[in-house]
Amino acid sequence: MDPLRIYNTLARDKQTFVPLTPGEVRMYVCGMTVYDYCHVGHARVMVAFDLVQRWLRTLGYRVTYVRNITDIDDKIIRRALENGETIGALTNRFITAMHEDAAALGVARPDIEPRATQFVPQMLSMIELLEKNGYAYQGGDGDVNFAVRKFANYGELSGKSIEDLRAGERVSTNEAKQDPLDFVLWKQAKPEEPPESGWDSPWGRGRPGWHIECSAMSCALLGDRFDIHGGGQDLQFPHHENEIAQSEGATGTHFVNYWMHNGYIQIDNEKMSKSLGNFFTIREVLERFDAEVLRFFILRAHYRSPLNYSDVHLEDARAGLTRLYTALKDVEPGDGALDWNEAHAMRFRAAMNDDFNTVVAVSVLFELASEVNRTREPALARQLHGLGGVLGLLARDPREFLQAAAGGSAAAGMLDAVAIEVAIEARAAAKRGKNYAEADRIRGELLAAGVVLEDKPGGATEWRRA
């Protein structure tokens, strides 16, 4: 059996996965900043690393999966002030919404979901260590900063040199810093900010910088060194680069063995983001498409590749998922566990062990669907159902999926199930009366409304959404 190989951003290559502790995996993924509803870019992060933890568990590893929640930062404070509500009320509301969106997408809750506000003491301890080790200093404005030039390996993850960064336009001048490249560890509280946004510290009342939050939470929960750290491609620099500098500067220990980054969701070949104003929330998409279709759309692409979002691509994903469920509709999966020695399962396993290659894994599902349609073999249907389940797919009753309206309701002018059944019965009555023109008219009307009829032996008629 081929070993699991993971593309390690730090090494810029696929590497055989060897956990620090045999049989165990400790994984941290940067989660959401909760001041608004999650968009489709967030959905990709959720689904991509849900897939990773699923496959690691399938391989038999004992996984500790941590995905944090950022519940204090400038955007959160600003939104709470704009809304006239407390920070806690704002963040709790959007944490609930995030959990609802994740559950709809079939994303399992992480084993541990720390909130930044729960780990401020650990952040303060790490900053004190950095100050003691000569990496941190308090600037003229009261903020505590990390001295980037003192960390010899800065830029190793992103491939950026100090000289490149100084020459670039990313760095703004700040006279309170010793160097424009230095980043904030602790922000001095401002008079206009609500009291709940600050904590007492050796450097005055304030709040943590974004980067120190993840360093402190991951090290507190997984140890100074752990196996996998993941997140979106946009976090590679500066967030993850800064995490390495902070964590290794504080502990003196190599921080993470494997860095994983998922690719962007794009609109017209441009990254989907709130700052660009070109994003769709998960909730908006689920008003038009079934949640499993959105998950399938994400999984059909390799997690590291860019993924172009459009209704056309989602319709194509819906058609593909319909094909898989249709294969299972009339063939009951055989009894027993998934057979990993079967040819399709072996190809699936090889694909997943090749840096979680869902492109090939999904192609195996389609091969199986074709075989099920051809042979009507329950053992193959069991394989299709089981392998789909590894990806978090095909868990529903096929007829329930095939008859579901977009968004799980009779939205967008779709006929509801009762109206469809009434029309089918009217068609059956027309056929019994030998009024075949009327029967054909009803079939045509249903087809125009996106409903496909299938006449079964014995006179029964089944239907599905087109």
Any known ligand binding at 38? no
pLDDT at 172 over 70: no
DSSP helix/strand/coil, 102: helix
pLDDT at 276 over 80: no
Give the confidence band of 275 by pLDDT, cuts at 50, 70, 90.
low
pLDDT at 171 over 50: no
Task: Say if residues 412 and 406 touch (Cβ distance below 8 Å).
Answer: yes
Residue-level pLDDT at 161: 85
% residues pLDDT > 90 (the chain): 77
Task: Say if residues 306 and 268 touch (Cβ distance below 8 Å).
Answer: no
What is the longest distance spanned by two Cα atoms in the chain? 91
pLDDT at 53 over 90: yes
pLDDT at 169 over 60: no
Question: What beta strand segments (E) does 93-202 contain?
Answer: 136-138, 144-146, 183-188
- Does 407 or 34 have the greater pLDDT score? 34
Question: pLDDT tens across 73-114, in order?
Answer: 999 999 999 999 999 999 999 999 999 999 999 999 999 999
pLDDT at 308 over 80: yes
- The CA distance from 410 to 414, in Å, is 5
Any known ligand binding at 421? no
Question: pLDDT tens across 234-267, in order?
Answer: 999 999 999 999 999 999 999 999 999 999 998 8
Residue-level pLDDT at 463: 83
Q: Which structure tokens are listed for 112?
A: 């541990």
Give the confidence band of 433 by pLDDT, cuts at 50, 70, 90.
confident
DSSP string spanning 21-37?
BTTEEEEEE---B-SS-
Task: Say if residues 144 and 186 touch (Cβ distance below 8 Å).
Answer: yes
Question: pLDDT tens across 341-400, in order?
Answer: 999 999 999 999 999 999 999 999 999 999 999 999 999 999 999 999 999 999 999 999
pLDDT at 446 over 50: yes
- The CA distance from 309 to 313, in Å, is 7
Any known ligand binding at 243? yes
**Region 16-40 average pLDDT:** 97
Show the CA angle centred on residue 303, arms to residues 168 and 318, nearest 5°.
Answer: 130
Any known ligand binding at 187? no
DSSP string spanning 373-405?
HHH--HHHHHHHHHHHHHTT-S-S-HHHHHHPP
Show the CA angle centred on residue 200, arms to residues 199 and 202, nearest 5°.
Answer: 135
Task: Say if residues 268 and 298 touch (Cβ distance below 8 Å).
Answer: no
Task: Say if residues 83 and 90 touch (Cβ distance below 8 Å).
Answer: yes
**Closest by alpha carbon to 275, among 43, 69, 36, 93?**
36
- The CA distance from 96 to 90, in Å, is 10
* Enclosing H/E stretch for 445: helix 436-448
